[in-house]
Structures are given as structure tokens and as C-alpha cells.
Amino acid sequence: MRYWLAPLTYALLCTPAWAGAQKEEALAASVQAALHSAVSDRASPEPIFSSFDEKLRWLNEMVPRLGRKIPDTRERIELLKTVYYEAQRAGLDPQLVLGLIQVESGFRKYAVSSAGARGLMQVMPFWVKQIGTTDQDLFHLRTNLRYGCTILRYYLDIEKGDLYRALGRYNGSLGRPEYPNAVHAAWQSNWKFMPDKVAQSSPTTITR
């Protein structure tokens, strides 16, 4: 069982200044092939929602939240749609991915960490050598999100669904609480979203 600090408490205690530093590990040939396939798909990044109204509601809620980070509305919409598509494709919660991006790069597309991690999801370049192709640019929006979501999904599978440990692997700080708690706090404080069917059936359940 994992113990997460309350989002507001953690936000007050810690400054979200993190940079991804996934550790390079030898991959089995089957794993390498599966990850290569995952990052190579070029299908159109159009997210699938339960309905068109749900899509509009999600975007209408999320677009304003990015206003301070990304002033251009079209750029915000493109980012959000791509995040949703890539998270959905990897079996991740899109809001979790937004929380991770907030912590990793502060939504700076061209961020580079001291360890050399790149882009929105702070992906280490060795991943391109291991599972990608030399023409893939980690500063490209969709490429970065594709890699980041694929890597987090891989770590979740290794850890049998344990998000706390998977986030630790993602940041290269497995076993330490600071990074998983920071992502969890960003996710819960800034990117929570209630699906329409839940909102209609439980309109008074939000207490925060």
C-alpha cells in the first residue's frame, strides 16, 4: 500500500522542480520489439471519447487550465488532444500524464534537463537508440508524448500496476517518495476531471 501526501500539503512542502532521468537497462529482444512497434505507429492522433459532447466538455475544462503555460489557444488544443490520444493508446489516465508533464517540464516543449532528458515528458535520448529510429526528434510534440507514455506504460507493466514504483522508475528515483508524490499532487490538484456520466449521477460528490 502506498501513502500519498495530500496534494495541497505536498504543493506547499515541495517545489515541483524535477527532471526525468530514466535509467538505461538492457531489454529483452521481445520487449525491445514491442516497444519499437509502440513508438512507430503513425495513426492519426485523434482521441476517442464516449461522445462528442464529452470531448467538448473535456477540452473546455482543460484548455483554460493551460492558459498561463501556453498562451496560444490552438497550441493548447493540439497538445491536449495529443496527450489524450497517446495516454489513451498506452492505457494511461490523460490527467495523470498532464500532471507528469507539469512536474517534468512545466509544459516547456524544448526543456532539457541536466541529465539530458528532453521535451515535455523529459525522455532520455538512449530510448531512441534502443527502441526508435534515428529520424525521431524528441522535441517533436507527438514523438515526445508517444515515447513518454510508452515508457511509463512499460514501467507500470514491470511493476505490476504499482504507479508509485512506476513513477519512481520514470524519474530514475525508484524507492524515493518525492517524485511520485509531486506527480500525484499535480494530477489531483490541477488536472482532475469527472466523466459526464459520473457528473450526472453524482452531482454533489465533489468536496474539494
**What residue segments make up the domains of the chain, in order of their start?**
7-201
In contact, 154 and 30? CB cutoff 8 Å: no
pLDDT in tens, 124-176: 999 898 888 888 899 999 999 999 999 999 999 999 999 999 999 999 889 89
Q: Which secondary structure element, helix H or strand E, spans residue 87, and what is its range?
A: helix 73-90
The residues pairing with 118 across neighbouring beta strands, listed in sequence order, are 112, 123
**Arithmetic mean of pLDDT, 185-199:** 81
pLDDT in tens, 15-66: 444 555 666 676 666 666 666 666 666 665 688 888 999 999 999 999 999 9
Arch. (CATH architecture) of 7-201: Orthogonal Bundle (1.10)
**Arithmetic mean of pLDDT, 65-69:** 93
For the chain, helix (H) and strand (E) counts, in that order, are 10, 0
What pLDDT does 11 receive?
A: 43
